[in-house]
């Protein structure tokens, strides 16, 4: 009886929804946009926040709000935005940082490094560039029948899942400033007729945007060389024929040779085992001779594409493939004598793509009998 009486008293003393007022007053940041203003040293900070309405109804419903401030740096602008709202900013749930190209060229890694020192820092938030007016984008009420923040997150999730864009977190961006052995590549978004889409990727060198971009197809091939390729479909245009093939397996290597003079030569063999999804203008069964010709044409096409990508990487001084990491690990004495930022654009990088067709669905070997 005493136990029952004690439990009853405890229930009376419970305050009910003790955290209701805290949840109601919090401003959960979904997306943060940072833009360098033209012809100015000031930046524009944009925030899309969500707070919980009707929290006492059980769960409540999210409501989005847009805030912005123009100031000398992110920290001061964020402080001023908090003064505008009736609630406290909570960054820990932030899912995306968007930067414009002008801001990214101004030592982006260093400028966002202070975020990592905040106790509620959203280090696992995604990071991307936007080629356009970020403030105008984030002020939109809806995109694709959903909220702006949800649309952008889904777009990036899908792009990374399909290996059309690299997955880059805010922590990767912060640490890229100090990592001299490997650089990052950020997804690049753009507005196209009221719809945001993936434009490609942007190359970074030591945490600073190089000004060099790759398109989506180039990015997908680059991710194949880096081991991040998951999406099976790839495309090629050969002699006005559109060829679609399904990648079944990727085998990649990195061979680094050092001559007597200390010069580096890097070979990047990449083998793709594929299944033809469409054979261009060819109809019906594919003979062995036609199959080998397809393999040769596809291999040459993708080797040429890979050479252009490597040229772009070196021109941007972006060591995304981590060649410096391999030199550091396997040639430590040579690494100690190198200024990698000066040497990387000069080394010989030779990619070679070999495509082997393991299945066509229409293969016919009767011509060989």
Tens digit of each residue's pLDDT (9 = 90 or more) over 165-190: 999 998 888 888 777 778 999 999 99
User: Going by DSSP bridges, is the β-strand pair 96-99/26-36 parallel, antiparallel, or unpaired?
Assistant: parallel
Its sign, for the CA torsion 175, 176, 182, 183, is: positive
Contacting residues for 147 by C-beta, under 8 A, at least 6 apart: 30, 64, 141
Cα–Cα distance for residue pair 159/197, rounded to 1 Å: 10
**For position 147, what pLDDT does the model report?**
84
Tens digit of each residue's pLDDT (9 = 90 or more) over 56-111: 555 555 567 889 999 988 888 888 888 887 666 667 777 899 999 999 998 887 78
At residue 365, does pLDDT exceed 50?
no
**For position 8, what pLDDT does the model report?**
47
What is the pLDDT confidence band of residue 361, given thresholds at 50, 70 and 90?
Answer: low
Cα–Cα distance for residue pair 114/139, rounded to 1 Å: 26
Instruction: Decide if 160 contacts 186 (C-beta within 8 A).
Output: no
Cα–Cα distance for residue pair 275/265, rounded to 1 Å: 32
More confident residue, 128 or 114: 128
Residue carrying structure tokens 């360098």? 36
Cα–Cα distance for residue pair 46/136, rounded to 1 Å: 10
Tens digit of each residue's pLDDT (9 = 90 or more) over 307-347: 999 999 999 999 999 999 999 999 999 999 999 999 999 99
- Residue 169 DSSP label: B
**For position 368, what pLDDT does the model report?**
38
Domain locations in the chain as residue ranges: 17-226, 232-369
**For position 116, what pLDDT does the model report?**
65
Looking at the DSSP assignment, which residues form a beta bridge with residue 203? 185
232-369 placed in CATH 3.30.300.210: yes
pTM given for the model: 0.84
End-to-end CA distance of the chain: 94
């Amino acid at each position: 009886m005493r136990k029952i009486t004690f439990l009853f008293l405890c229930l009376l003393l419970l305050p009910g929804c003790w955290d209701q007022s805290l949840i109601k007053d919090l401003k959960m940041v979904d997306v943060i946009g940072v833009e360098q203003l033209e012809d100015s040293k000031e930046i524009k900070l944009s925030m899309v926040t969500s707070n919980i309405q009707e929290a006492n109804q059980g769960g409540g419903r999210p409501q989005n709000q847009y805030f912005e401030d123009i100031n000398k740096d992110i920290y001061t602008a964020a402080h001023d935005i908090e003064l505008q709202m009736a609630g406290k900013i909570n960054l820990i749930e932030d899912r995306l940082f968007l930067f414009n190209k002008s801001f990214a060229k101004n030592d982006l890694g260093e400028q966002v490094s202070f975020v990592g020192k905040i106790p509620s820092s959203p280090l696992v938030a995604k990071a991307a560039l936007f080629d356009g007016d970020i403030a105008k984008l984030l002020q939109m009420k809806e995109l694709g029948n959903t909220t702006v923040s949800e649309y952008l997150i889904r777009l990036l999730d899908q792009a990374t899942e399909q290996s059309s864009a690299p997955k880059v977190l805010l922590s990767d961006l912060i640490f890229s400033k100090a990592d001299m052995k490997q650089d990052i590549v950020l997804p690049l978004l753009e507005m196209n007729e009221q719809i945001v889409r993936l434009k490609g990727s942007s190359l970074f060198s030591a945490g600073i945007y190089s000004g060099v971009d790759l398109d989506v197809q180039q990015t997908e091939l680059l991710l194949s060389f880096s081991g991040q390729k998951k999406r099976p479909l790839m495309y090629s245009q050969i002699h006005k024929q559109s060829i679609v093939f399904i990648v079944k397996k990727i085998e990649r290597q990195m061979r680094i040779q050092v001559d007597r003079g200390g010069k580096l030569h890097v070979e990047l063999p990449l083998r793709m085992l594929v299944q033809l999804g469409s054979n261009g203008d060819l109809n019906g069964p594919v003979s062995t001779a036609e199959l080998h010709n397809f393999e040769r044409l596809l291999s040459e096409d993708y080797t040429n594409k890979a050479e252009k990508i490597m040229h772009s990487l070196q021109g941007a001084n972006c060591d995304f493939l981590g060649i410096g990491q391999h030199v550091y690990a396997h040639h430590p004495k040579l690494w100690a004598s190198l200024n990698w930022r000066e040497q990387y654009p000069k080394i010989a990088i030779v990619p070679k793509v070999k495509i082997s067709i393991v299945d066509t669905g229409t293969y016919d070997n009767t011509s060989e009998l």
